[in-house]
Amino acid sequence: DQQVKQNSPSLSVQEGRISILNCDYTNSMFDYFLWYKKYPAEGPTFLISISSIKDKNEDGRFTVFLNKSAKHLSLHIVPSQPGDSAVYFCAATGTSYDKVIFGPGTSLSVIP
């Protein structure tokens, strides 16, 4: 049973618009969440993270929102750019964990 879910395998957005990528988790012990971005033929790279003591974290065009009661987080990209086209992985871990659990990924296409 997947502990981290990304229910949209793919998403297509027009350049300049907002991209919203969603992630749900089932384990209430998770208290730290990360987003990774992956281009074809490359390894994933860290994008942004959020601790459970916060409900929002912002870094430039990227904002992650956390709703602990719903066990849901989302990544907002504003404005979206063609270079943002990649696979985005949501991941979760916690202070009582020694590993990170990844979701299946969402493939984002930003159309010029």
Partner 1 sequence: NAGVTQTPKFQVLKTGQSMTLQCAQDMNHNSMYWYRQDPGMGLRLIYYSASEGTTDKGEVPNGYNVSRLNKREFSLRLESAAPSQTSVYFCASPSGTYEQYFGPGTRLTVT
Q: Is 41 in the site for partner 1 (CB under 8 A)?
A: yes
**In Å, how far are 40, 75, 98, 108, 112 from 71, measured between CA atoms?**
29, 14, 20, 22, 33
Which residues in the chain belong to E strands, given as ranges? Answer: 4-5, 10-14, 19-25, 32-38, 45-51, 56-59, 62-67, 72-77, 86-93, 101-102, 106-111
Cβ proximity to partner 1: between 32 and 65 the closer is: 32
| CB 10 to partner 1: min, Å | 11
Interface stretch with partner 1, choices 11-19, 63-71, 77-85, 91-99 (CB under 8 A): 91-99
Q: Which of 13, 19, 25, 34 binds partner 1 (CB under 8 A)?
A: 34
Q: Is 89 in the site for partner 1 (CB under 8 A)?
A: yes
Q: Is 49 in the site for partner 1 (CB under 8 A)?
A: yes
The terminus-to-terminus CA distance of the chain in angstroms comes to 37
Tell me which residues touch partner 1 (CB under 8 A): 4, 6, 9, 32, 34, 36, 41-46, 49, 89, 93, 98-100, 102-105
